[in-house]
Chain A
Amino acid sequence: MNTDHDPAVITAVLMAAEGAINRSLELDPASARDLTDLSGTVLAVECWAPALEIFAIVEADGQLHLTSYSEQPCSVRVRGGLSDFLTLATAEDPAVTLINSDLEIIGNSAPLIALQTIVAKMQPDWEAPLVEVLGDVAGHQLANLLRQIFRWGQTSSQSLRRQLSEFILEEGRLSPPAAELEYFYQEIDTLVLKVDRLESRLKRLAHRVDNQIQ
């Protein structure tokens, strides 16, 4: 269970990423077919620093479902530190890297490699769904990051690691929760302003009416 993080924020990020992947699957029938072949696969990704557990589940209809909580038996579980995952993410050949890396794999690695190959091939549009759930600033920042992660091999893992750590520390560590609250506060601020303005306008109007009557 992810106890360090606000479930609402993790859910927001996963929901956005899932939306982006599923949307680009719609535009890429070949990848969608490959993914359908993997249906029933439950991949657990367990990162120990920062402590975070994520499940990628291929549904019967070939959609990818990302969640921070699942009780389904896992087909394969990958364990490691953030830097191990990032090395993998920026590797030229994910399959080879996976085998040679420090990541611990429990279960059958075949569906993991297959899943990776599919997602790595795709160019999901991360931006729109992320902005939708996280608001402009955080959404954009995270979209950039995801874009880099999935442009395998083209980003130096050093800079990626730094950016991702920053994001996780600033946006993901959540007491108080950052990303979605910021959005929430902005909404409130705007509303308070609007309401205040409306109130004073009404007062002025009422005043004018009073004066005219007299």
Chain B
Amino acid sequence: MTDKTNAESGETTHFGFETVNKNQKESLVRGVFDSVASRYDVMNDLMSAGIHRLWKRFTIELSAVRPGQTVLDIAGGTGDLAAKFSHLVGDDGQVLLADINDSMLKVGRDRLLDSGAVGNLHMVQCDAQMLPFPDASIDCITIAFGLRNVTDKDMALRSMERILKPGGRLLVLEFSKPVNPVLEKIYDTYSFRILPMMGQLIANDADSYRYLAESIRKHPDQETLLGMMEDAGLVNCEYHNMTGGIVAVHRGIKA
């Protein structure tokens, strides 16, 4: 579907809790990340008091990526996961760091060069809904804290399934539904009051972070996402809750 038909059909989607036109959302999302790209890592750390490193590490373990494989990290942002994968796949493998946002990729490129990542890394600016890679060409796809920003998540999941090799795996790391009501309440306070204020203080951009908090709430819960992955054609789908379900990592295999 092109932007044009989208605009004409006037299809709406959620931008946080505001309902907006679908293609408006894409530029809004881009705007949000553009404005915080260089401060993103600092914010990311603060956002979860460093726990995101644990969530990402477990996701990487579940990927079981081996030397020589091709790994695609979608919505890869500043390249946290890509740096680890670059090391894991070695000289014979390759890592594709993909993001819709050019300024995120630029920060990522600089950081990865600094961290001494090897020459097996490539940056690709693209949209998760329309991945520009051949069918059955990728061993492992990861998308960490990125799916919630994608307008048409089903379309994105189908696109991922298409480019996976048979037996290849998809890992989705994403905020999810806390399994405990107390946790949910604390989490809401954090997301809706504290996070925007920290955003204001540090990135001088409360709106961006309020948007992040709200898009967390709009994200499908564990079982819904599991169903969506199955609908996209993936098999043996499963998920692991982490930190009381604040975050879940879903895994599905291409049949």
- Chain B residues in 8 Å Cβ range of A6: 241-244
Which positions 168-199 of chain A face chain B at CB distance < 8 Å?
Answer: 175-177, 180-181, 183-185, 187-188, 191-192, 195
Task: Tell me whether A67 and B61 are in contact (CB under 8 A).
Answer: yes
Report B40-51 CB contacts with A as 1/0, cut-off 8 Å: 000000001111
Task: Tell me whether B54 and A195 are in contact (CB under 8 A).
Answer: no
Interface magnitude class on chain B: 20 to 34
- Chain B residues in 8 Å Cβ range of A7: 58, 240, 242, 249
Given contacts A6-B243, A176-B244, contact A184 B51 (CB under 8 A): yes
> A185: which of B48, B61, B186, B197 is its contact (CB, 8 Å)?
B186
19 contacts between A and B (CB under 8 A): A6-B241, A6-B244, A7-B240, A7-B242, A7-B249, A8-B58, A8-B247, A12-B54, A69-B58, A133-B50, A175-B180, A176-B183, A180-B54, A181-B243, A187-B49, A191-B190, A191-B198, A192-B194, A195-B197
CA of A69 to CA of B61 in the docked complex: distance in angstroms?
Answer: 6
A164 within 8 A of B: no
Report A83-101 CB contacts with B as 1/0, cut-off 8 Å: 0000000000000000000
Given contacts A6-B244, A184-B51, contact A70 B190 (CB under 8 A): no
B39 within 8 A of A: no
A117 within 8 A of B: no
Across the interface, name the chain A residue whose C-beta is closest to B65: A71
Contacts from B to A (Cβ < 8 Å): 48-51, 53-55, 57-58, 61-62, 64, 179-180, 183, 186, 189-190, 193-194, 197-198, 240-244, 247, 249
Q: Which residue of B49, B55, B62 has the most chain A CB atoms within 10 A of its CB atom? A: B49
CA of A177 to CA of B245 in the docked complex: distance in angstroms?
Answer: 10
CA of A72 to CA of B67 in the docked complex: distance in angstroms?
Answer: 12
A39 within 8 A of B: no
Across the interface, name the chain B residue whose C-beta is closest to A59: B87
19 further interface pairs, Cβ-Cβ under 8 Å (given A15-B57, A181-B243):
A6-B244, A7-B58, A7-B249, A8-B54, A8-B247, A11-B58, A15-B53, A15-B54, A70-B64, A133-B50, A176-B183, A180-B51, A180-B54, A181-B244, A184-B48, A185-B186, A188-B190, A191-B190, A191-B194
A68 within 8 A of B: yes
Distance (whole angstroms) from the CB of B37 to the closest CB of chain A: 24
Total number of A residues with any Cβ neighbor in B under 8 Å: 26
- Chain B residues in 8 Å Cβ range of A185: 186
- Chain B residues in 8 Å Cβ range of A12: 54
Across the interface, name the chain B residue whose C-beta is closest to A188: B190
Distance (whole angstroms) from the CB of B125 to the closest CB of chain A: 31
Distance (whole angstroms) from the CB of B184 to the closest CB of chain A: 11
Given contacts A68-B61, A195-B194, contact A188 B54 (CB under 8 A): no
CA of A69 to CA of B171 in the docked complex: distance in angstroms?
Answer: 14
Task: Tell me whether B193 and A195 are in contact (CB under 8 A).
Answer: yes
Across the interface, name the chain B residue whose C-beta is closest to A61: B87
Task: Tell me whether B49 and A177 are in contact (CB under 8 A).
Answer: no
- Chain A residues in 8 Å Cβ range of B51: 8, 180, 184
Distance (whole angstroms) from the CB of A157 to the closest CB of chain B: 31
